[in-house]
Amino acid sequence: MKKLKFALESYTQVKREIQPLIEEHYKAIALHKDVIKLNPDWKQYARYDSMNALRVYTARSDGELVGYFVVVISKSLHYQDHLFATNDIIYLSPKHRKGTAGIRLIKFVEEQVKAEGITLLVINTKAHAPFDAILERNGFELTERVYSKLLKDK
**Residue 147 domain flag:** no
**Residue 154 domain flag:** no
59 Cα distance to chain centroid: 12
Count structural domains, the chain: 1
SS3 128: coil
* CA nearest neighbour of 69 among 9, 146, 132, 137: 9
Are the CB atoms for 72 and 48 separated by under 8 Å?
yes
* pLDDT per residue as tens, the chain (154 positions): 578 999 999 999 999 999 999 999 999 999 999 999 999 999 999 999 999 999 999 999 999 999 999 999 999 899 999 999 999 999 999 999 988 999 999 999 999 999 999 999 999 999 999 899 999 999 999 999 999 999 988 7
**Residue 144 domain flag:** no
What pLDDT score was predicted for residue 1? 57
**Residue 143 domain flag:** no
**Residue 149 domain flag:** no
54 backbone dihedrals φ, ψ, rounded to 5°: -120, 135
**Residue 54 domain flag:** yes
What pLDDT score was predicted for residue 153? 84
What pLDDT score was predicted for residue 98? 86
Q: What is the CATH number of the domain that holds 94?
A: 3.40.630.30
SS3 43: helix
**Residue 151 domain flag:** no
Q: Is the pTM of this model over 0.85?
A: yes
**Residue 145 domain flag:** no
Q: 10: domain range?
A: 5-137
